[in-house]
Structure 1
Amino acid sequence: MALPDSRVAELTAERDRLRTELLRERGQRPASSARGIHHTALISGDVRRTVEFYQDVLGFPLTEMFENRDYPGSTHFFFDVGNGNAVAFFDLPGLDLGDYAEVLGGLHHLAISMAPDQWQAARARLDAAGVAYMEESGTSVYFRDPDGARVELIADPLGEMYGELVV
């Protein structure tokens, strides 16, 4: 549902005010206190299906698998997404979980940077696997993983988006 033009104009003005008030110039920003994202954890409805999708279709090697310390019987497993970063999953057997939903505080999408040749190869594997996706700006594809989470593969370098520095 599209917003009325007047509301879009209000939101644009508010974003501009926030940018002016809160965004520090590149040379004025302090160094981050973080080293990076250790892992992002998602929920899997089927461990094998998730591994086959992320490892075989997307090309992210499975690196570890062990029992979830917070939920006996649950599997916690990790994929290498490059540059020392990981995407992890839990399965939660016995819980009656609903379908993926976007909620406040929840995941909108997971964006993973790939070199252009790897991005093209992954897009070809998505095609071969019959995974529907939306291509945007010639450098991004958006699709849903087997459990419905939205994933973006982006051929832009880390720290850039569509030619703009974001870090």
Structure 2
Amino acid sequence: MSMLQPNGIHHLAICTSDMRKTLLYFNDVLGFPLAALYWMHGVKNTVHGFLKINDSSCLAFVYSPKIIDEKIVGITHPATISDTSTRGTMHHLAFNVDSQEALTQIRERILAKGIACSEINTQGYPVSFTFPGPEGMLLQIGCQPSAEENVFDEDAAAAIGLDKAAMEALKSHKPYNRPASPVPNALLGADAGYHMNYPDPVYRTLISAPDELVFDFTQDNVPPNEKQPFNVKRRLAKLKLLFRIILSSISRSRGKA
């Protein structure tokens, strides 16, 4: 029996309309050093920047001239802990420290940068405080353990449709046994209902194309800061994928006729 599951967060990628300002903020205010900065692979006019939190996790940002700086509180950004944002968006970003003493010290560092912080909430999970970041981000720093002993509320669980037994079941790891043969992509209509937002023919092509073809299209050994050389195998794979997309579009059009 295998406990296959992610062992942490490698990076959280956030869109920014001002990469320079955002990198400077997190480098100066929280001390995160620059880990990588390059043109994003396969995405035109888009810069990807990474700040190192520790040896296994980063904070990442994506910049493109197409990213607008409009902020609508309650829709695109929560702005405060009591506000909301639309589904699938980040409400707040919380960093961790090892002790309440460290929490107090880093709060002083942030205050010294001229940034106002909330008081430290010692009754929450975790013990934490909040402060504002660039691009309207709501930031938090917390530490474990929490002052609260009982952090599982049956009333809160019932409000989201979980009874006590279901909540107890959620506390356990879910093991996964690998099958003997590779698992294929689930085709549309036979999947779990979660889709990336590509045009339908493109998405159908991506999830149905052989692994070897996708590998040839995406594989390169060139570092992010170097220009891609002309690659015959990669170009042929691109043409094959384009041909599959065209066939998928024709098939869909005939199906609707």
- Tell me whether the two structures share a fold, i.e. TM-score over 0.5: yes
Equivalenced residue count is 135
TM-score under structure 1 length normalisation = 0.68
Aligned 1:21-36 pairs, distance under 5 A: 31=3, 33-36=5-8
Asked if 2 retains the 8 angstrom alpha-carbon contact of 1:60 and 1:79, the reply is yes
Structure 1 residues 66 and 118: CA distance shift in structure 2, 3 A: farther
1:105 to 88, 91, 103: 88
Aligned to 1:50: 22
Secondary structure of 2:56's match?
coil
Aligned to 2:63: 91
Q: Deviations over 1:132-152 (max 9, x none)?
A: 221332441211211111111
1:74 to 46, 70, 78: 46
Structure 1 residues 121 and 56: CA distance shift in structure 2, 3 A: farther
Deviation at 1:53, TM superposition (A): 1.0
Deviation at 1:98, TM superposition (A): 2.1
Asked if 2 retains the 8 angstrom alpha-carbon contact of 1:57 and 1:122, the reply is no
1:135 to 119, 140, 143: 119
Asked if 2 retains the 8 angstrom alpha-carbon contact of 1:141 and 1:154, the reply is yes
Aligned to 2:106: 122
Asked if 1 retains the 8 angstrom alpha-carbon contact of 2:14 and 2:62, the reply is yes
Asked if 2 retains the 8 angstrom alpha-carbon contact of 1:145 and 1:151, the reply is yes
- Larger RCO (CA under 8 A, 6+ residues apart): 1
Task: Determine which structure has the larger strand proportion and give its number.
Answer: 1
1:59 to 19, 26, 31: 31
Aligned to 2:230: none
Aligned to 2:133: 145
Q: Deviations over 1:31-64 (max 9, x none)?
A: 4522322211111221221111111111111111
Aligned to 2:13: 41
Q: Which runs of 5+ in 1 are unaligned?
A: 1-29
Q: CA RMSD in A?
A: 2.7
Structure 1 residues 66 and 161: CA distance shift in structure 2, 3 A: farther
Asked if 1 retains the 8 angstrom alpha-carbon contact of 2:50 and 2:58, the reply is yes
Q: Which moved more, 1:38-47 or 1:128-137?
A: 128-137
Q: Quick one: which amino acid aligns to residue 149 of structure 1? A: M
Q: Which structure would you say has the larger Rg?
A: 2
Structure 1 residues 162 and 73: CA distance shift in structure 2, 3 A: farther
Asked if 2 retains the 8 angstrom alpha-carbon contact of 1:81 and 1:87, the reply is yes
Asked if 2 retains the 8 angstrom alpha-carbon contact of 1:71 and 1:92, the reply is no
Asked if 1 retains the 8 angstrom alpha-carbon contact of 2:69 and 2:135, the reply is no
Q: Distance in 2 between matches of 1:163 and 1:76?
A: 39
Q: Which runs of 5+ in 2 are unaligned?
A: 78-84, 153-170, 172-257
Asked if 1 retains the 8 angstrom alpha-carbon contact of 2:17 and 2:67, the reply is no
